[in-house]
Amino acid sequence: MGEMRRIETALPELQALLGERLVTSEADRALHGQNETYYPVTPPDAVAYPENTEEVSAILRLCNRHAVPVTAYGAASSLEGQHLAIQGGISLDMSRMGAVLAVNAEDLNAVVQPGITRKRLNEELRATGLFFPVDPGADASIGGMAATRASGTTAVRYGTMRENILALEAVMADGTVIRTGSRARKSSTGYDLTHLLVGSEGTLGIITELTLRLQGIPEAISAATCRFPSVEDAVNCVILTIQSGLPMARIELLDEMMVRGFNRYSQADLPEEPHLFLEFHGSPAAVAEQRDAFGEIATEFGADGWKTADTTEERNALWEMRHKAHYASAAFGKGGHIWPTDVCVPISHLAEAVLQAQRDAKRLGLTATIVGHVGDGNFHAGLSVDPGDADEMARAEEFTQALAETALRLGGTVSGEHGIGLGKQKYMTAEHGAALAYMRAIKAGFDPNNILNPGKLLPPGNREISDGS
């Protein structure tokens, strides 16, 4: 049965299930086919808006029967096209499943639905004195953050999504609802399906509920910025800081091009030199001690221009600017299109990786910003590109490949937090080798008809969608 016939057969049944919450208008489909980067618009055939797990289960059961692709959709902030329905089918918009179901303050955890965003979650938690620490640049949905195994500016202190999810509810391709993990802080029972689903980019199941670790809001918080003579000095300062055991809450690197972008986009007035943005958490005495200890290390590497941000308003302004790095990178023209990429390397090789990235950008004649959560060896390059310029796009691809090869040569990974999606499938064999065959086997076991986000994560060569026969 052809693809068009499959979707035409499925749509009336989905309409009967969801009514007006199954949308086929051109505007809504186009909206769900857009992305933050350079990928072309790829609208789904229809957009479904489930309101509970039972509806997600019914949708998947029906789509599996008709072999119709299903791609989960959160806040559309992914940078490797994970939410794009490249083979058509249904875009499963989780925005109506955005509730906080429970806050277990004594156990420091909360149960939430996937559509809630990180900012709204922390707004709802504020009165409890607790917060959810994972802090990516975008105001992403929690479900999307789990699916891409996201991290962010606070990962150096609090970890990534992997470390901050205790349990999941998920719907399998055939509509079966499973629960993984528990509210207990540890378990030694069975395979770890929780962390198999985290980072699977919606290719193994649809997450419908998450149990998250929470943290107490620190008694004292202080942020600061300082500048360095060179990127190498800034990175070496980071390396010594981490090796010294300072419990940094945030330690972010900006190269001179990124600083220039912030000055243009956010009307900042920063000297256009490499900077570190920092944050310290703890008691007032501990924060003062951490700040002084960092200052001593930074001075060894020529740091200057120390500025503190101690009020909530000052800190919010600083980190709001940092979170706009993607858009600030677009301030260099090219029609506002950015080719983003990230890698993560052992911290001992961080300086080598960053400097090589800068050399490669210069060699290829590309305008590139570098910014990163360098406390754990992760950094991003934002290339300002014109998708209509085939030569420039080819050079951007060459840069991305060179950066991936550098990361692998240094014992790192081709993505620390963006994920694989569409853009980095080609590097999966180089990074994972023979293990890739076992990943394909896992995919086949979870999703025999290959309806869940087909064409993502695994490189080309994985099975196409079953024809249902």
Each residue of 21-30: pLDDT tens digit?
Answer: 999 999 999 9
User: Which residues lie closer than 8 Å to 204 by C-beta, 6 or more apart?
Assistant: 196, 197, 442, 443, 446, 447, 452
Are the C-beta atoms of residues 388 and 418 closer than 8 Å to each other?
A: no
Mind listing the pLDDT tens digit for each residue in 197-236? 999 999 999 999 999 999 999 999 999 999 999 999 999 9
Sort 401 into a burial class: Cβ within 10 Å, 0-12 / 13-18 / 19+: middle
pLDDT-based confidence at 98, cuts 50/70/90?
very high
| Residue 41 or 447, more confident | 447
- In the chain the domains, ranked by start, together with CATH numbers, are 3-95 (3.30.43.10), 100-216 (3.30.465.10), 220-326 (3.30.70.2190), 333-419 (3.30.70.2740)
Are the C-beta atoms of residues 140 and 74 closer than 8 Å to each other?
A: yes
Which pTM does this prediction carry? 0.93
Q: Write the DSSP symbol of residue 59.
A: H
Are the C-beta atoms of residues 339 and 418 closer than 8 Å to each other?
A: no
How confident is the model at residue 3, as a pLDDT?
Answer: 61
Q: How far is CA 126 from CA 54, 110, 123, 218, in A?
A: 30, 13, 5, 12
* For range 238-251, the mean pLDDT: 95
Q: Is the pLDDT of residue 36 over 60?
A: yes
- Mean pLDDT over each residue of the chain, to the nearest integer: 94
Phi-psi region for residue 83, left (φ > 0), alpha (ψ -120 to 50) or beta? alpha
Residue 242 to residue 349: CA distance in whole angstroms: 13
How confident is the model at residue 330, as a pLDDT?
Answer: 85
Q: Write the DSSP symbol of residue 89.
A: S
Residue 450 to residue 91: CA distance in whole angstroms: 15
Mind listing the pLDDT tens digit for each residue in 351-385? 999 999 999 999 999 999 999 999 999 999 999 99
Q: Are strands 46-48 and 90-93 parallel, antiparallel or unpaired?
A: parallel
pLDDT-based confidence at 432, cuts 50/70/90?
very high
* For range 433-447, the mean pLDDT: 97
Closest by CA to 451, choosing from 72, 21, 193, 113, is 72
Are the C-beta atoms of residues 466 and 450 closer than 8 Å to each other?
A: yes
End-to-end C-alpha distance for the chain, whole angstroms: 8
Q: Is the pLDDT of residue 463 over 60?
A: no
How confident is the model at residue 467, as a pLDDT?
Answer: 41
Residue 450 to residue 466: CA distance in whole angstroms: 7
Amino acid at 265: Y
* For range 334-338, the mean pLDDT: 76
Closest by CA to 332, choosing from 276, 390, 382, 389, is 382
How confident is the model at residue 132, as a pLDDT?
Answer: 98
Backbone angles phi, psi at 325, to 5 degrees: -55, -40
